[in-house]
Amino acid sequence: MKFLFDSDTWQEIYGSIRKNKLRTAITIIGVLWGIFLLVVLLGSARGLENSFNKRFGNFATNSVFVWTQSTDKPFKGFQEGRRFTLTMNDIDVLKSEYSEEIKLLAPRNQTSNLIIKDFKSGNFQVSGDYPILDQIQKKQLLYGRFLNQNDILSIAKVAVISEDMYKQLFDLGEFPIGQLIKINSISYKVIGVYKPSNTINFDGDCAYIPFTTFKKVYNTANKVDWMMITANEGTDIEQMEKDILLTLKNLHKVHPEDERAFGSVNLGKEIGKVTGFLTGMQFLTWFVGISTLVAGVFAIGNILLITVKERTKEIGIRRALGATPKSIKQQIILESVFLTTIAGMLGIIFGSAVLMFIDWKLGSGGEGVLINPTVNIPIILIAFVTLIVLGTLIGLIPAHMATVIKPIEALREE
C-alpha cells in the first residue's frame, strides 16, 4: 500500500488528468450520470411507494365493497331491469357461510341531508354505521371519539362529523364536543370530529350516526345500501368476491350470469395492480441504473486505454529508468479507482440534492406525489463499493497493456 502515499504516483496521475482535461471530464460525467440516475430513480420509486402507503395506510386494503343495481337478465319469473336491495338477512348469511374467510363486515346506509347548527347550515352525507367501520377505515380523530357499541344498543342520537363540516357549521375556535346539530330536524350531539384521510374516500364530508338510529329515523327497516367486507389474512380476495356475489344472487333470485345486478369494487385486486406496478418500477430502476453505471465504468477503461497508447513513449522511458511493471500497473489502476471514486461521490451528492428538491416540490402537502424520496444508506454504500470494485477491475485492462510494452519498442514509438 506504500504506493498510495507516494507523491510521485499522485503527481503522475495529476499530470495525466491535467493533460487530458476534457477527456477526463467526459469520463467522470459518464460514471457520475450512472450513479446519479441510480440514486434518483431509487429515491423516486421509494417516494412513490411512500405516497401509496400514505394514501392507503388507514384502509384495510384486502376489502371488497358490494351494492345492488338492476338486473340484466330475467330469472325465475322476474323481469329484466328489476331493482332490489340488500338486507340484514344477507349480512347474517354471509357471516355464517364465510366465517373463516371474512374478518370484518360492515353494513352501511347513507343519505343526503341538510345539517343545521344555529344559523349555519349545509348539505352533507349522513351515514348510518357500526363501530366496526373504524377498523376497516381508521378515522383520524381531531376531537372526541368514534361511534361505540353503546351508541348502537341505546339508539343514541349522536354524530361524528368531518373537519370541513366543523369549520362550516361552528364558529372559529368553538369547541364542538357536546354541541347539538340538527339533521332532518332532529337534534344530535356531536361526539367526535375527524380529519378525512388521503386514502380512497367513499364518503366525502360525512356525518356518521349509529346504524340503529339511522334505521329508526329514516324507517329503513332491514334495508342495507351497501356493505364493506374485509378478508382474513391469506384469503384469496378475488375468489371470495366471486363466492359472495354468487351467494347474494341465490338469495335474491338473480341469474348466476347476471353481471349488472350487483356492483362491487375489489380493493385488494386494484391495490395488487398498483403494487405490481411498483415492483416493476423498482426492477426497471435497478436495471437502468446499473446498466448506466457499468457503461460509465467501461468508458473509464476505454479512456485509460487511449491514455496508455498516447503515453507509450513515456512508459518506455520510465521502464528504461528502472520502473517495474508492478509500479506502472498500480499507477494505472489507481488512476482508474481515483476517477471512479470522484465520479461516484459527485453522483451521490447531486442525486441527493435532486431528491431533496423533489421532496420539496412534489412531496409536500396532503396530495404529495413523491413523499420522502430517499435511498437507504446501505444501498448507497453497496452501489459505491460496487463502483470502486468495477473501477479497479476495468483498470486492470489498460494496466496490463501498459506492462506488456517493451522499453525498446516504446522508445521507438513516434
pLDDT digits (tens, 9 = 90+) for 186-230: 999 999 999 887 555 566 789 999 999 999 999 999 999 999 999
What is the Rg, in whole angstroms, of the alpha carbon atoms belonging to the chain? Answer: 34
Q: Domain check: are 237 and 279 in the same one?
A: no
> How far apart are the C-alpha atoms of 300 and 19, rounded to whole Å?
16
SS (H, E, C) 200-231: CCCCCCEEEEEHHHHHHHHCCCCEECEEEEEE
**DSSP code at position 399:** H
pLDDT in tens, 7-43: 656 666 666 666 667 767 777 777 788 788 888 888 8
Read off the pLDDT of each residue in 267-278 and give the average, rounded to a whole number.
Answer: 70
Nearest to 173 by CA among 207, 140, 143: 143
* Residue 127 grid coordinates: 351515514
Model pLDDT, residue 82 = 92
The last residue of one of the domains, among 238, 266, 294, is 266
Model pLDDT, residue 34 = 77
Q: Domain check: are 11 and 135 in the same one?
A: no
> How far apart are the C-alpha atoms of 317 and 319, rounded to whole Å?
5
Of the listed ranges 40-49, 257-266, 290-299, the least confidently predicted one is: 290-299
Residue whose C-alpha cell reads 350487483 in the numeric block: 262
Q: Are 16 and 307 in contact (CB under 8 A)?
A: yes
> How far apart are the C-alpha atoms of 346 and 357, rounded to whole Å?
17
Of the ranges 93-107, 264-278, 308-322, 323-337, the best mean pLDDT one: 93-107
Is the model more confident about 129 or about 58? 129
**Is residue 294 classed exposed, middle or buried when 0-12, 13-18 and 19+ CB atoms within 10 A define those classes?**
middle
Model pLDDT, residue 277 = 72
Which residue range is the domain that position 139 belongs to?
A: 63-266
Q: Domain check: are 295 and 255 in the same one?
A: no
Band of pLDDT at residue 270, cut at 50, 70 and 90: low
Q: Domain check: are 45 and 84 in the same one?
A: no
Q: Domain check: are 148 and 260 in the same one?
A: yes
Q: Domain check: are 46 and 70 in the same one?
A: no
Query: What average pLDDT does the chain have?
Result: 81
Kind and range of the H or E run holding 132: none
Model pLDDT, residue 413 = 52
What 3-state class would DSSP assign to 22? helix
The total of other beta-carbon atoms located within 10 Å of residue 61's CB is: 17
Q: Domain check: are 162 and 239 in the same one?
A: yes
The last residue of one of the domains, among 266, 285, 301, is 266
Q: Domain check: are 216 and 320 in the same one?
A: no
Model pLDDT, residue 199 = 55
Model pLDDT, residue 318 = 65
The last residue of one of the domains, among 216, 242, 266, is 266
> How far apart are the C-alpha atoms of 380 and 340, rounded to whole Å?
15
Q: Domain check: are 70 and 50 in the same one?
A: no
Q: Are 285 and 272 in contact (CB under 8 A)?
A: no
Q: Domain check: are 290 and 241 in the same one?
A: no
Is the model more confident about 328 or about 286? 286
**DSSP code at position 3:** G
Q: Domain check: are 129 and 240 in the same one?
A: yes
Structurally, the chain folds into a number of domains equal to 2
> How far apart are the C-alpha atoms of 282 and 278, rounded to whole Å?
6
Could you give the residue ranges of the DSSP H alpha helices within 2-155?
7-19, 21-56, 88-97, 133-136, 149-153
pTM: 0.64
Q: Domain check: are 143 and 238 in the same one?
A: yes
